[in-house]
Amino acid sequence: MHLVELFGRIFISALFLIEAVRKFFNPDMSMMYMSEYGVPEFLFYPSLAVEFFLPILLIAGFKTKIVASLLGIFVLAVTLIFHTDFSNNMQIIAFLKNFSILGGLLIIISNKPQICSFDHYLENKK
């Protein structure tokens, strides 16, 4: 089952990593989208860092509960800022997708580190 947990962390992280790479190579479009919702452009680079570095830590299983919690807060904030226009079907789908991701992150938070993680290694090294 430890491989299943590893693949779960990889699959959830893939969404963030792909989005981070897309934003990195097309920052103007992302900044324009953010400004349409009143989000200051200076938050673009911190959000890019969150979407790139935290998923890498999640895949590695390093400080998994903390990283999954931070990603969960990020997803919740993004959802509430960008995806609450329930008159638009695509926004409803994005809202529900993000809540599904949040559910997966909550499952990661609630479980003990498995054998395919740095957390497990560090816990058993003591």
* pLDDT tens string 95-118: 999 999 999 999 999 998 888 899
Domain residues for the domain of 107 are 2-125
If one counts the domains in the chain, the total is 1
**pLDDT exceeds cutoff 80 at 126:** no
Q: What is the mean pLDDT of the chain?
A: 94
Q: Which residue has the higher pLDDT, 92 or 126?
A: 92
Does the pTM of the predicted model rise above 0.95? Answer: no
**pLDDT exceeds cutoff 80 at 52:** yes
End-to-end CA distance of the chain: 23
- pLDDT category at 31 given cuts 50, 70, 90 is very high
pLDDT in tens, 69-94: 999 999 999 999 999 999 999 999 99
Cα angle: 77, vertex 78, 82; to 5 degrees: 120
Q: CB atoms < 10 A from the CB of 81, how many?
A: 12
**Residue 5 identity:** E
